[in-house]
Chain A
């Protein structure tokens, strides 16, 4: 039997991340990148360590953050990897590490950080 392709897994993660970022991306970037530093709306609460930690300690907050970070990374990895040849770049080991390797490392770091942050 021939070896099964792992492409469907990558593609599913790409699709899920693309949908997640299309639904939430602009709002999240505004919330964390502009509302937190300017203290607007929910940003005022999230700029406070204790209140931000409480969000991460809640199950919905934890799951949402994990989904956003990891799916965005896998979406970007897959899309960038498939665009490399259009710029004359080879899809070699280095390219794999730079795309999927970063997504994999980011996923592991996210798991670790969520454990270290406590429950």
Chain B
């Protein structure tokens, strides 16, 4: 009698370390916990703001500590890497777009994304400066 031997796909943790292409994939993926961390920091500020003047001033005092400044410097760098990697893979993650019968190239899509990001960040900076 034949013994059933189903194929089990080999899978081991850390499979991505063997190939630089997949190491870059993992570098992209690992920006995510930092995006989440920043969201929680911002949320804590929002909660402090809702609770009143003293809690909000305590939150700002924590932001002034050297540890927080270093952490946010790291976060800025990781967010910048996220922007670059997000728009670098966007030609593959978005549906093809054609203008006048010509398909828009990968480099143009990436460049458009980065220009949009630069515009959004500068706009946010100057809008908040103007209204706050």
Contact = CB atoms under 8 A, between A and B. Distances in A.
Interface residues on A, range: 35 or more
B125 A69 contact: no
A49 B53 CA distance: 6
Contacts of B14: 86-88
A52 B63 contact: no
A41 B35 CA distance: 23
Contacts of A41: 125, 129
Interface in B53-84: 53, 56-57, 60, 63-64, 68-69, 71-73, 75-76, 79-80, 82-83
Contacts of B113: 22
Nearest to A89: B13
A116 interface: yes
B99 interface: no
A32 B132 contact: no
B83 A25 contact: yes
Contacts of A80: 32-33, 36
A18 interface: yes
A19 interface: yes
Interface residues on B, range: 35 or more
A13 interface: no
* Majority secondary structure, A binding face: helix
B117 A72 contact: no
A37 B13 contact: no
B33 A76 contact: yes
Contacts of B11: 85
B83 A86 contact: no
A23 B72 contact: no
Contact of A109 (B15, B47, B69, B72): B47
A107 to B, nearest CB: 9
Nearest to B93: A15
Contact of B43 (A18, A55, A86, A106): A106
A51 B47 contact: no
Given A34-B69, A37-B69, A69 B82 contact: no
A117 B75 contact: no
Contacts of B132: 42, 45-46, 51-52, 54-55
Interface in B1-45: 11-16, 26, 29-30, 32-33, 35-43, 45
Given A31-B125, A53-B56, 4 more contacts: A24-B117, A30-B76, A79-B35, A87-B14
